[in-house]
Copies of this chain bind each other. A is one copy, B any other.
Amino acid sequence: MDGLSSAELSSYLEEVRGWTLAEIDRIIPRGTRHDDELYALMRDYPFREAKGLRPALCFAVCRALGGGHEAMMPTAAVFELYHNAFLIHDDVEDGSLLRRDRPTLHRQHGVPIAVNVGDAMLALCLGPLLDNTRTLGVGKALRLLELVARMARESAEGQAIELGWIRRGTWSLADRDYYRMVHKKTTWYSFLAPMLAGAIVAGATPQQQTRIRLLASLMGTAFQIQDDVLNLVAAERAYGKEIAGDLWEGKHTLMIVALMRSADEADRAAAAAVLRKRRPVDDGDTGPDVKTEEEVTRLRDHLFKYGCVDYARRRAQQRADRAARLFSVLRGALAPSVHRDFLAGLMQYLVTRNH
């Protein structure tokens, strides 16, 4: 398919990442004596090491469809800002300890400041989207605002679904419950909205937009399943989160859904009991409601023993294959470009990546 190699993908991502950070640096004010702290904290997450997948997707779709570089970059950067604002609030909501190899914002500055920094970032995102009226015209600018409003709502609905499961201790789920949650919580803001935004800015046809919507849905699910698998199997240094952090945090992954369906009664009950416990906040934090390393290790072993990791990998591969087939249809209408080849290469990368 003329897809970029892994090294070429990385340098494409790096290039867009550089432009994105320059935009973000422009969007976040320098701050005055009174609010310099707020804006300094707002720069923290976005400038930590990251792939910058969302702006790259946005940019590549726009450019592959013939849209312009300057026209797209502010909005591409807005998706990275939304992503980081969601991460700050998600880290509070999930009680996460590390983000991109460093302590989470709420651990460094407390929950009150972290919640407020996230809110301030969400507010700042509206600026460049309103500026689009001047650079893209009112029609495209309003369609992008509608898209982002829908995205923010879908993300919160997805988060609510998972927080509800956690609150009620719900672990027996159908695969479709998991797919629905992931579609709202991850796919909408990581794939659907960025890729549709690229299509809108480029002036894609309705048919192209429909295909991109389906393509993005498949890529989003494949990405998230693979993310869950990596969290479980990758070495700590390569992946950058705590190993098996999802198990410690009690995340609802496709592997866990499969385990609760296929494990024998005793193993299922044991898994549910461990998942319902909370993670320790430090080494001295123990008790009947706190997970232990032995429990998490056994849970991890059971995911392998019952074939749940392979099951998840196959499901991710199926979706990546369908995405690749769909892309090859879409590709016919695209002029040759590095942007087109980036998207082609990304299909395979989504499932084979190890970080």
| Binary contact track A80-121/B, C-beta < 8 Å → 1, others 0 | 000000000100111000000000000001111101111110
Residue in A110, A130, A156 whose Cβ sees the most chain B Cβ within 10 Å: A156
For A, the interface residue count at a CB cutoff of 8 angstroms equals: 45
Tell me which residues from 271 to 325 in chain A have a Cβ below 8 Å from any Cβ of chain B: none
Q: How far is the CA of A167 from the CA of B92 in the complex (A)?
A: 18
Task: Judge whether B149 and A123 touch: CB under 8 Å.
Answer: yes
Name the distance in Å between A353's Cβ and chain B's nearest Cβ.
Answer: 29
**Known contacts A113-B160, A138-B138, A159-B116, A122 near B152 by CB under 8 Å:** yes
CB distance from A342 to the nearest CB of B (A): 30
Report chain B residues within 8 Å CB of A160.
Answer: 35, 37-38, 113, 116-117, 120
Complex CA gap A159/B41 in Å reads 14
Q: Which of A38, A93, A160 has the most CB of B within 10 A?
A: A160
Asked if A89 meets B113 with Cβ closer than 8 Å, knowing A130-B146, A130-B149, A161-B35, the reply is no
B111 adjacent to A167 (CB under 8 Å): no
Question: CA A222 – CA B42 in complex, angstroms?
Answer: 32
Where chain A touches its partner, the secondary structure class is helix
CB of A34 within 8 A of CB of B120, answer no
Partner of A119, one of B89, B146, B149, B180: B89
CB of A142 closer than 8 Å to a CB of B? yes
Contact B119 A156 (CB under 8 A): yes
Chain B's closest residue to A122 (CB) is: B122
B116–A152 touching, CB < 8 Å: no
Cα distance A157–B119 when bound, in Å? 10
Residue A163 CB within 8 A of the other chain: yes
Q: Which residues of A in the span 124-143 have a Cβ within 8 Å of any Cβ on B?
A: 124, 126-127, 130, 133, 138, 142
Contacts of A153 in B (CB 8 A): 120, 123-124
Complex partner residue of A37 from B116, B145, B164, CB under 8 angstroms: B164
A163 B113 Cβ-Cβ under 8 A: yes
Q: Is the CB of A112 within 8 A of B92?
A: yes
Chain B residues with Cβ below 8 Å from A163 are 112-113, 116
What residues of B have a CB within 8 angstroms of the CB of A35 in the complex? 157, 160-161
Partner of A130, one of B123, B133, B142, B161: B142
Tell me whether A115 and B133 are in contact (CB under 8 A): no
Query: Which residues of the other chain, B, contact A145 by a CB distance below 8 angstroms?
Result: 126, 130, 145
- Which of chain B's residues has its CB closest to A119's CB? B156
Per-residue contact bits, chain A 155-189, to B (CB 8 Å; 1 contact, 0 not): 11101110110110000000000001000000000
Contact (Cβ within 8 A) A149 B120: no
Query: CA of A234 to CA of B40 in the docked complex: distance in angstroms?
Result: 40
What are the residues of chain B within 8 A of A152 when measuring CB–CB?
A: 119, 122-123, 126
Of all chain B residues, the one with the shortest Cβ separation from A149 is B126
Closest B residue to A31 using CB positions: B157
The residue from B38, B149, B159, B180 contacting A157, defined by CB atoms under 8 A apart: B38
12 sampled A-B residue pairs with Cβ under 8 A: A89-B115, A89-B119, A94-B112, A110-B167, A113-B167, A116-B160, A116-B163, A119-B122, A120-B156, A122-B152, A123-B149, A123-B155
Q: Which 7 A-B pairs have the closest CB atoms?
A: A123-B152, A120-B156, A93-B112, A126-B149, A38-B160, A123-B153, A35-B157
